[in-house]
Amino acid sequence: MQLHRTVGAAIVIGILFVPSMTWAQDPIARARPEEVGMSSERLALIGKAVNAEIAREQLPGAVLAISRRGKLVFFEAFGHQDKAAGVPMTTDSIFSVASMTKPMVAVAALTLYEQGRLLMDDPLPKYFPKFADMKVAVMDAKKENIVDKVPAARAITIQDLFRHTSGLIYGGRGTTAVHKLYPSSSSAAATTMSGAEFLDRLSTMPLLHQPGMVWDYGFGLDVLALVVESMTEQTMGRYLEQQVWKPLGMVDTAFTLPADKMSRYAKPLPADPVTGLPQAAPPLQFRFDCGGGCAVSTAADYLRFAQMLMNKGAYGRARILGRKTVEYMLSNQLAPDAKNLIANADPTRADYGFGLGLAVRTTAGIVRMLGSVGDFSWPGATGTNWWADPREELAVVWMAQTPGPIRWKYRQMINALVYQAIID
């Protein structure tokens, strides 16, 4: 039997999982779970459940970090970083975090908002004039053909970019005639176009919806990142490094993965466990820093980011945003008459509201997962997930490369396993 070293509970089902002696630097100070109202015994159920999924070859491996009341109570790695190559997962494994990039870009843009340089009702043409005369598509009954284009009732605003109400939709998120015109995703756009080429293309596309009227997943945060670049005369990665990542100690978060860190990069299973179709790691080379989904990070790094937002903009000695700015970011930004299609993007976030760059819970019930009114989150299509629950003083980061539909199962499963461990 081959011995693989990992952090987590030890089980023997074909592969032996035993605790690793190598830990990444703790993102925050540790505490015994019981000191902050959580049960060590109930937290141990997480390892049993995750290792059982790994043994059934449903996911290659994962890293989970949990903090409560500002203290780290769980930080473990399970299974394989690269199952095909037999590389074990470690707590400092690096993941493509896909749309978990969006909240970080939102924070970067809000630093300019705090300086009075970027306002919510600024029209997008103020920064990129080519968006001045946008049209909205009119389709036939089956939405298979565009039969007309009408002028947008108003310009796309900066707020629309933050909250996915711009009408600039992801092509891969639907089958209408309009969807077929757009790039499928942020990473697909960034692998084939420069930032300038991307803006040129979007500015010629008809919008699917009138600005401000419908939450529909799309390129808002990618365009917002390019607005930040134009204002700061820096790449998105460079600006985030200076304003967010370095102050928070996020040492492994970037838009590029250096060669000396490639050995820590996590990969999905070769085949999707649900569909059986081949799957591969997402691209790592991009022609621009796509704000919608091109960053890599670790569980430790992202927990620092989540903790900063839960701390109303501060982490350690660093203050990234002011308290009122964070409160505004984490408030529902969708008007009562706006149509909310968030369930189309992620069924586990159905019936959530949306703030600036992330989902916010507006009701204790209805939604499909445990939590509290005011909890906030936004996951990644690669399988990564995180959320923070200010009422419970709880922050959770789940890193796994499970890009298929099984990712929705793990979002609900980990959510239940974490909350059942609260005992106060």
pLDDT of 9 higher than 50 = no
**Burial of 412 by CB count in 10 Å (0-12 exposed, 13-18 middle, 19+ buried)?**
middle
State which H helix or E strand residue 342 sits in: helix 342-345
Residue 16 — very low, low, confident or very high, per pLDDT cuts 50/70/90?
A: very low
| pLDDT score at 364 | 92
Q: How far apart are CA 361 and CA 345, in angstroms?
A: 16
Alpha carbon separation from 233 to 112, 225, 350 (Å, rounded): 13, 12, 37
CA atoms within 13 A of residue 239's CA, in its CB half-sphere: 23
Statement: residue 7 has pLDDT above 60 = no
Which residues, listed in sequence order, are joined to residue 135 by a DSSP beta bridge?
151
Q: Residues 313, 328: contact at Cβ < 8 Å?
A: no
Distance CA 46, CA 395 (A): 16
- At 410, the pLDDT band (50, 70, 90 cuts) reads very high
Fill in the amino acid letter for 139. M
- What would the two tokens of residue 319 be? 């203050």
Task: Give the 3-state secondary structure of residue 157.
Answer: strand
138 bridge partner residues: 148
Indicate the class that CATH gives domain 92-332.
Answer: alpha beta
Residue 14: pLDDT over 80: no
Burial class for 11, CB neighbours closer than 10 Å (0-12, 13-18, 19+) = middle
> Strand 214-215 relative to strand 353-354: parallel, antiparallel, unpaired?
unpaired
Tokens (6 digits) for 65:
């970090």
How far is Cα 116 from Cα 104, in angstroms, rounded to an integer? 19
Residues linked to residue 74 through DSSP beta bridges, in sequence order: 66
Mean residue pLDDT across the chain: 94
Residue 417 has pLDDT above 90, yes or no: yes
**Span 356-366, mean pLDDT?**
96
Strands (E), 237-328: 296-297, 314-315, 318-319
pLDDT of residue 26: 87
Q: Where are the beta strands (DSSP E) in 179-272?
A: 214-215
Give the percent of the chain with pLDDT over 90: 92
Q: Where are the alpha helices (DSSP H) in 56-171?
A: 101-114, 158-163
Give the side-chain half-sphere CA count within 13 A for 88: 22
**pLDDT on residue 25:** 76
- For the chain, which residues make up each domain, given as ranges? 92-332
Per-residue pLDDT tens over the stretch 196-250: 999 999 999 999 999 999 999 999 999 999 999 999 999 999 999 999 999 999 9
